[in-house]
């Protein structure tokens, strides 16, 4: 009976199999665009009043080109993870979002496709002129940018600032101007480039201070090939060890939000996520200068749909003549990092939404996201606009607004005291040396004598037991 049943089952399978196969091939194949982005880095909300960028793109694509496309979206959590997946070449990827140093690395390894600015037509008029001169321009379009800053418990604000009201990266070394002891409350990066970077900003600043040439030759330390400079930074990092609570990456959210740690360096855009949970937190840019980074959109050489990928890039920038500017603005607001898209950043609705206390990130948002801009003047404009918008009610039309509007000039290097360093891809020898120094720093552990003693006791007990056992056996074998 069982046998008959299983035979029937097999027969059934055999009959249906060809049907399934043919029915698959009958359906019109939908083109698929494989997008590989950082986690939580694009607006993909499907609620009302929300924007799902990929769905919006699919719709727009059908209307514009008359064919269906499906965006297959997946995420990575580090540049290195993305690099590994791309390098082994087993997965389909049409568009990636690496950070600047990874872009350089990918270019050096000839893994990126040169972009066609005939397709990405929005580039010229939307991307901030400062970004248009980047050496990586032929291969990537900036998506977001930002700076590294100090996140701290607001109660410490006074103690952390020196006489002139500025903050120094030195506070991460527990050198607190107000004299408070923060041992075991300080976090730092568990990745070599960022950890070394902070030490290098300090050294660069202090050297410039000594020779009186502030704000200092920019690349003296940060991208140096001089091993002696890396040694100096290493020694500085070693001094930091005893005051640290932990080397962290994503654990920082938990620790800062819960108040387990009080002081940590992190990216400006992520500060807003933390302050959302723990409103006691505050943010500042230290006087020594900080890291400037950007994440960009690139098409790998292995991409199957490079043209569609570039149309996607163009759409994210707001499309030709700003037809998708709403989507670009919604995306920039959702992501919360600084946007290199001047059509977005000079849009009063965007600025007002960002500076809004309830829906956005509060008045400090502009000075944190755009520290190099004339943010005080911007804020004044935004407040005026927000008041007008309030009055105009639900169905306001931004075109009716007659007050002052921001322009690009307000964003480009107004605040020249704000020193930034960009990380470049180090040459191989330097990279190996720097990694070796980081290795040396990490290999020395915090003291754990009790573990050593404990395990020594265990081993001794085992040895004693083994010897005792052998003696017992000998003793017994004499009698039995």
Partner 1 sequence: MGRVILKEKMNKKRSFLRTAAAYPHMVWSVLFIVAPLIFVLYYALTEEDASGNFYFSFANITALAGESYLPVFFRSICFAVVATAICLVLAYPLAYFLSKCKVSSQRMLIMLVMLPMWMNLLIRTYSWMNILETNGLINNLLTTIGLPNAKLLGNGAAVVLGMVYNFLPYMIMPIYTVMSKIDSRYLEAAADLGCNGPQTMLRVILPLSASGIISGITMVFVPSVSTFYISQKMGNGRFEMIGDTIERQFMSNYDYHMGATLSLVLMVLIIICLAVMNRFGDEDGGVLV
Q: Where does this chain bind partner 1 (CB under 8 A)?
A: 78, 80-81, 84, 184, 190-192, 241, 244-248, 251, 254-255, 258-260, 428, 432, 435, 439-440, 442-446, 448, 450-452, 454-455, 458-459, 466, 469, 473
Q: Please report how close the Cβ of residue 396 comes to partner 1 at its closest, in angstroms.
A: 45
CA 307 to chain centre: 26
| Shorter beta-carbon distance to partner 1: residue 42 or 187 | 187
Angle between helices 375-392 and 348-355 (to 10 degrees): 90
CB of 436 to partner 1, least distance (A): 9
Give me the least distance between CB of 301 and partner 1, in Å please: 17
Q: Residue 3 CB: number of other CB atoms within 10 A?
A: 7
Instruction: Pick the closest to residue 413 from 219, 266, 215 (CA basis).
Output: 215
For residues 113 and 260, which CB has a smaller minimum distance to partner 1 in the complex? 260
- 24, 298 contact by CB (below 8 A): no
Helix axes 100-108, 79-88, angle to 10 degrees: 20
Least distance in Å: CB of 38 to partner 1?
16
Between the alpha carbon of residue 171 and those of residues 156, 235, 335, 389, the distances in Å are 11, 17, 29, 42
Residue 202 beta carbon to partner 1: minimum distance, rounded to whole angstroms: 21
Residue 217, Cβ neighbours under 10 Å: how many? 11
CB atoms within 10 A of CB 448: 9
Asked whether the bond before 215 is cis by omega within 30 degrees of 0, the reply is yes
Q: Are 406 and 348 in contact (CB under 8 A)?
A: yes
Nearer to partner 1, 311 or 437 (CB): 437
If the CB atoms of residues 62 and 454 are measured against partner 1, the closer one turns out to be 454
> In terms of CB distance, is 43 or 78 closer to partner 1?
78
Provide the minimum distance between the beta carbon of 452 and partner 1 in the complex, in angstroms, as a whole number: 5
Contacts of 160 (CB under 8 A, 6+ apart): 150, 152, 167, 171, 176, 177, 178, 263, 284
Percent helix, strand, coil in the chain, to 5, is 50, 15, 35
Q: Which is nearer to partner 1, 31 or 473 (CB)?
A: 473
Among 306, 312, 310, CA closest to 117: 310
Q: Among residues 62 and 469, whose Cβ is nearest to partner 1? A: 469
In the complex, minimum distance from the CB of residue 298 to partner 1, in angstroms, rounded to a whole number:
19
Smallest gap from Cβ 455 to partner 1, in A, equals 4
For partner 1, the closer CB: 240 or 338? 240
């Amino acid at each position: 009976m069982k046998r008959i049943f299983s035979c029937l089952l097999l027969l059934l399978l055999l009959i249906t199999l060809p049907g399934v196969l043919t029915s698959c091939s009958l359906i019109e194949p939908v083109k698929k665009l494989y997008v590989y982005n950082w986690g939580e880095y694009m607006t993909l909300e499907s609620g009302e009043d929300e924007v799902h960028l990929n769905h919006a793109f699919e719709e727009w694509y059908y209307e514009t080109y008359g064919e269906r496309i499906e965006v297959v979206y997946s995420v990575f959590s580090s540049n290195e993870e993305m690099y590994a997946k791309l390098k082994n070449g087993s997965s389909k990827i049409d568009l990636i979002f690496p950070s600047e140093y990874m872009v350089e690395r990918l270019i050096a390894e000839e893994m990126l496709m040169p972009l066609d600015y005939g397709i990405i037509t929005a580039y010229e008029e939307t991307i901030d002129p400062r970004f248009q001169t980047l050496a990586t321009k032929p291969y990537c379009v900036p998506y977001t940018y930002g700076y590294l800053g100090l996140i701290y418990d607001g109660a410490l604000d006074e103690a952390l600032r020196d006489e002139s009201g500025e903050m120094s990266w030195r506070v991460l070394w527990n050198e607190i101007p107000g004299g408070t002891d923060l041992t075991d409350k300080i976090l730092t990066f568990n990745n070599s480039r960022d950890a070394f970077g902070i030490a290098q900003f300090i050294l660069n600043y202090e050297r410039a201070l000594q020779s009186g040439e502030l704000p200092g030759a920019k690349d003296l330390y940060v991208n140096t090939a001089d091993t002696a400079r890396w040694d100096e930074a290493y020694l500085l990092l070693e001094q930091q060890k005893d005051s640290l609570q932990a080397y962290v990456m994503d654990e920082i959210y938990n620790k800062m939000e819960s108040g387990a740690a009080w002081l940590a360096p992190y990216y400006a855009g992520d500060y807003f996520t933390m302050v959302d949970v723990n409103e006691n937190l505050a943010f500042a840019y230290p006087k020594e200068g900080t890291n400037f980074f950007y994440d960009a959109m690139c098409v790998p050489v292995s991409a199957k749909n490079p043209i569609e990928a570039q149309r996607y890039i163009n759409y994210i920038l707001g499309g030709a003549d700003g037809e998708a500017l709403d989507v670009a603005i919604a995306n920039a607001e959702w992501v919360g990092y600084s946007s290199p898209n001047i059509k977005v950043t000079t849009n009063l609705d965007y600025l007002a939404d960002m500076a809004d206390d309830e829906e956005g990130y509060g008045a400090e948002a502009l000075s944190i996201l755009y520290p190099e801009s004339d943010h005080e003047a911007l804020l004044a404009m935004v407040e005026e606009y927000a008041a007008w918008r309030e009055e105009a009610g639900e169905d306001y039309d931004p075109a009716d607004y007659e007050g002052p509007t921001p322009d690009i000039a307000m964003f480009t290097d107004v605040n020249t005291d704000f020193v930034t360093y960009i990380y470049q891809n180090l040459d191989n020898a330097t990279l190996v040396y720097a990694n070796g120094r980081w290795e040396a720093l990490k290999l020395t552990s915090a003291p754990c004598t009790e573990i050593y003693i404990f395990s020594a006791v265990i081993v001794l007990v085992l040895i004693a037991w083994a010897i005792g056992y052998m003696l017992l056996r000998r003793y017994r074998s004499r009698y039995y």
